[in-house]
Amino acid sequence: MKRPLSKPFTPYYRGRFAPSPSGPLHYGSLVTAVASYLQARCNRGLWQLRIEDIDPPREQKGAVRDILSSLRAFGFDWDGSVLYQSHRLAYYRHIAEQLHKHHLAFYCECSRKQLMKSPETRLGRLYEGKCRKLGLPSLTGHTLRMRVDKEHIKFNDGVFGVQSYDLLTDSGDYIVYRGDQLPSYTLAVSLDDLQQGYTELVRGADLLHLSARQLHLMQQFNRQLPQLLHIPIITDANGQKLSKQHYATALDTRHSSFLLYCALKDLGQEPPKYLCYRSINYIWNWAYSHWRVSSIAPEMSIKQGF
């Protein structure tokens, strides 16, 4: 397809942190922010913030303000202005239409209920391809799916090493635009990451399984693909992921030094205990000179260390 992305690729390191405003910053997202920030700063690169606010029912009033003020309290310093996905809905829609126009995607009328009955779905395939040849129009209620053929997606993750996926059986014809007229997570983040020219995406290992479809989608635009680096997600004592959906506790910025120390520890950096009692600036300076990606455990999850 014609390249709709106009910003030139930049050859130096560009990274980002992309929270959703479904609640205040919690410890799990702090760990991700620390890892992506250190990767960017230790590579003398840019670090940007993106607010993933395209799912209004899950948003919490005041969450953006809380997240930004927590990040400031922890000493994060982002480059440029904050990006809001909600400002880009027309762009996502335009690209979705282009994907359809170039026959890379097709509209699907199958309901979730119908899909659950399908033998293919029961075998682990997400979509059986029923609507592929129907030529359905864009209508509310119709989802737009990428046409996926047998294809292997392989990449070398910065922590987990070589990853290989069979796109057809791992992902099937994945959704890029939803029936309720909103872009899918895959479409929005892939377009943003490409357009901003991020050279590496640092994020939680719970997103590892989505990498294949995101790389597949990005490949359609003939642009330099970012490197991927997944870090273990943080769980509570019961093994449950810390997330806003599970009411993870908001960070108490009065204990920012201790929490930053814990984040470095959970990232395998072995910070000396005395850092707990030092200023945020002191801890960041220690982290800049000791940061080693190779020390991060290639585990899907680790239990919160405090």
Binding site for Zn ion (CB under 5 A): 108, 110, 130-131
Tell which residue, 27, 21, 37, 47, has the closest CA to residue 253.
27
What is the 3-state secondary structure of 17-65?
Answer: ECCCCCCCCEHHHHHHHHHHHHHHHHCCCEEEEEECCCCHHHCCCCHHH
Place of tokens 């994945």: 174
96 vs 205, which CB is nearer to Zn ion? 96
Place of tokens 């300076």: 285
106 vs 221, which CB is nearer to Zn ion? 106
Contact in structure between 234 and 266 (CB atoms under 8 Å) = yes
For the chain, state the CA radius of gyration. 20
Tell which residue, 73, 22, 85, 5, has the closest CA to residue 48.
85
Residue 119: CB minimum distance to Zn ion, A: 15
Residue 130: CB minimum distance to Zn ion, A: 5
Q: Which residues 6+ apart lie within 8 Å of 112 measured at CB? A: none
49 vs 131, which CB is nearer to Zn ion? 131
175 vs 251, which CB is nearer to Zn ion? 175
Residue 62: CB minimum distance to Zn ion, A: 39
Q: Are strands 227-231 and 200-204 parallel, antiparallel or unpaired?
A: parallel
Residue 232: CB minimum distance to Zn ion, A: 36
108 vs 201, which CB is nearer to Zn ion? 108
128 vs 206, which CB is nearer to Zn ion? 128
Segment (H or E) for 154: strand 152-157
Residue 113: CB minimum distance to Zn ion, A: 12
Residue 189: CB minimum distance to Zn ion, A: 24
DSSP structural state of residue 183: B
240's torsion region: left (phi>0), alpha (psi -120 to 50) or beta?
beta
Residue 93: CB minimum distance to Zn ion, A: 20
131 vs 187, which CB is nearer to Zn ion? 131
Residue 122: CB minimum distance to Zn ion, A: 16
110 vs 202, which CB is nearer to Zn ion? 110
Q: Are strands 301-303 and 233-235 parallel, antiparallel or unpaired?
A: parallel
Q: Which residues 6+ apart lie within 8 Å of 230 measured at CB? A: 157, 158, 159, 160, 202, 203, 204, 205, 207, 208, 211
